[in-house]
Structure 1
Amino acid sequence: MTAVDAAVRLDTPAPTPELIDVVAGHRRRRSLWARIPRPVRRMVSPVLILAVWAIGSSTELLNPDLFPSPAHVAGTAWRLLNDGQLAVHVGASATRVITGSVLGILIGVLLAVLAGLTRTGEDLLDWTMQILKAVPNFALTPLLIIWMGIGEGPKIVLITMGVAIAIYINTYSGIRGVDQQLVEMAQTLEARRSTLITQVILPGAMPNFLIGLRLGLSSAWLSLIFAEMINTTEGIGYLMSRAQTNLQFDVSLLVIVIYAIAGLLSYSLVLVLERLLLSWRNGFDGFEGRA
């Protein structure tokens, strides 16, 4: 520090404790929006959508015959629930999604580990998975029916493929994106290969795996739409198809709401896993609103 800097510092009056407290208190003061619990804040957008929907229906800005009101759709849901139809269709779809997702996760992780850890695995697997990624699921539907019939097999395979590809692409990228310096440091410490994989590489790829899981679960519900077009009499996809044939717009909107809720639950599951598995990561969490 130069003499000039020292003189400036001596001539500049130090802030009083009162001033420090006032400034700190102002910085800590949060806006009214920031004081609302985050779960409540997250519900604002869905509630606004329902409100606009209800207002549009009540004022007849939306044709009630083509766009039934939320109350009408809720009444349809209650009727189908009492009849037992809704539970049957939702249960059948959930079973398919869970089965296909579990198989897809296992297959996707296994292939990603094989391709990511070894060059031989990469040479044998990566191009094939990239090709499958470019092929739409619905394009395989006729072939799967010919090869496997019209039972549950084609439906599970479509969902499994959608999930496995998303898991593979992101997990493989995560494995190959691990910092090489961390690997070299572990090798310098003479860590075993198994320790290197379980303590360095796989934890480093975990964020990408969770991204793949988020995309994979979304793909599972999208694949379900095509899967349940394969000669089925149970499932929310069948419920949607039947509603479109019979011009039951209330049932069609109900199915859309069910898909939305299922997607939200899948997203929430991934968020919980991120908090459990990535508790060590101190990432940016966004700015907090202040007054």
Structure 2
Amino acid sequence: MPDTTAEPVAIAQQHRRTRAVAVRRWPRDSGYRPGRLTGWWLPLAFFALVELGARLEIIPARLFPPPSELAQTLWNLARRGELAPHIGASLARVLAGFVAGSMLAVLFGFLVGISRRAEALLEPTFQALRAIPSLAWIPLLLLWLGIDETPKIVLIAIGAFFPVYLNLVAGLRDIDHKLVELGTSCGLSTTELIRHVLLPASLPYLFAGLRGGLSLAWMFLVAAELIAATRGVGYLLSDGRESSRPDLVLAAILVLAVLGKLSDSLLRAVENASLRWRDAHRPQHQR
């Protein structure tokens, strides 16, 4: 009598092998390796189309100046020595606010991530504060802290805090409890457990939060530099709006985009160096 279960079992095994191969190869199953300049093709093509549209008078130059005019505006600012102080002021504010917000986020993230009591006490308040728009903080910070650098840095820190906090808490909750039990059974103290188990295990989530927090820090910078600022890229944006100069507005936006991309690339390089152990266990074609 023929074995009627052999064929379904063979089909199931073949299906499992096919799924395993697909999972291992996704999403880089084609062997494609992008070049270093691949990511520049899209913005360069966009600028070329805008330049062509402005030259052919398809795009109104008074509303969307061509990239050549933006380059001339940036060159004039740099030649007069005005661009570097604006960039330096914005970089200092973003760095100070991002570091302060990230450090507080790591502190409260570990506190909430490892303590149910702290989670019950702090999580509802943080979720409510996260829903407040950035511009809503400005009047309150002006009343509390005046019009100097402090309210600007505090506003940027608020923007950087929540992505780092949320990702770190999610990473701590995703850790396998067996690792925590193993560390506890080995006699590790709370500090040693955080250093040797919790922090390494949640590091990918932490870097994801840091990159998100850095992006929001640049976004909150524009709102922060509306607080009686006389220097900064956000001030250039406001000055261009008040003087009806779209070239200055777009030049400031371009500077913000470049600064944001460079800072994110730097943080991503730090992430890759810190998480090199993660890539060491991957097959060569998945790296």
Q: How does the TM-score come out when normalised to structure 1?
A: 0.82
Q: Give how far 1:126 is off.
A: 2.0
How far residue 81 of structure 1 moved from its aligned partner, in angstroms, is 0.4
Equivalent residue for 2:276, pick from 273, 276, 279: 279
Structure 2 match to 1:114? 111
Residue 223 of structure 1 corresponds to 220
Give me the whole-angstrom Cα distance separating, in 1, the residues matched to 2:253 and 2:185. Answer: 55
1:264 aligns with one of 258, 261, 264? 261
When residues 224 and 285 of structure 1 are mapped into structure 2, their CA distance, relative to the original with a 3 A threshold, is farther
The answer on whether the counterparts of 1:50 and 1:70 sit within 8 Å (CA) in structure 2 is yes
Q: Which moves more between the two structures, 153-162 or 46-55?
A: 46-55
- The question of whether the paired residues in 2 share the 8 Å contact of 1:132 and 1:165 is answered with no
Q: Which amino acid aligns with 2:124?
A: W
Q: Distance in 2 between matches of 1:137 and 1:147?
A: 16
Local SS of the residue matching 1:231: coil
Question: Structure 2 counterpart of 1:82, which letter?
Answer: R
**Any idea what SS the aligned residue of 2:94 has?**
helix
Q: Cα offset for 1:91?
A: 1.2
Q: Provide the C-alpha distance between the structure 1 equivalents of 2:140 and 2:257, rounded to a whole number of angstroms.
A: 30
Deviates more, 1:59-68 or 1:182-191: 182-191
Instruction: Show structure 1 runs of 5+ residues with no match.
Output: 1-29
Which has the larger displacement, 279-288 or 57-66? 279-288
Hey, what does 1:145 align to over in structure 2? 142
> CA shift at 1:191, angstroms?
3.9
Structure 1 partner of 2:181: 184
Partner AA of 2:36 in structure 1: P
Aligned length: 256
Residue in 2 that maps onto 1:14:
none
Give the alignment partner of residue 104 of structure 1, picking from 81, 101, 106: 101
Structure 1 residue 266: Cα displacement = 2.3
Query: Match for 2:68 among 63, 68, 71?
Result: 71
User: Amino acid of the residue matched to residue 224 of structure 2?
Assistant: A
Once the two structures are TM-superposed, the CA of residue 285 in structure 1 deviates from its matched residue by 9.7
Q: Secondary structure at the match of 1:38?
A: coil
CA distance in 2, matches of 1:214, 1:285: 26
Specify the structure having the higher radius of gyration (Cα). 1
How big is the shift at 1:77?
A: 0.5
1:248 corresponds to 2:245 = yes
TM-score normalised per structure 2: 0.83
- State which of 67, 91, 95 in structure 2 corresponds to 1:94: 91
Percent identity of the aligned residues? 39
CA 1:286–1:76 in structure 2 vs 1: closer, same or farther (change >3 Å)?
Answer: farther
Structure 2: which 5+ runs fail to align? 1-29
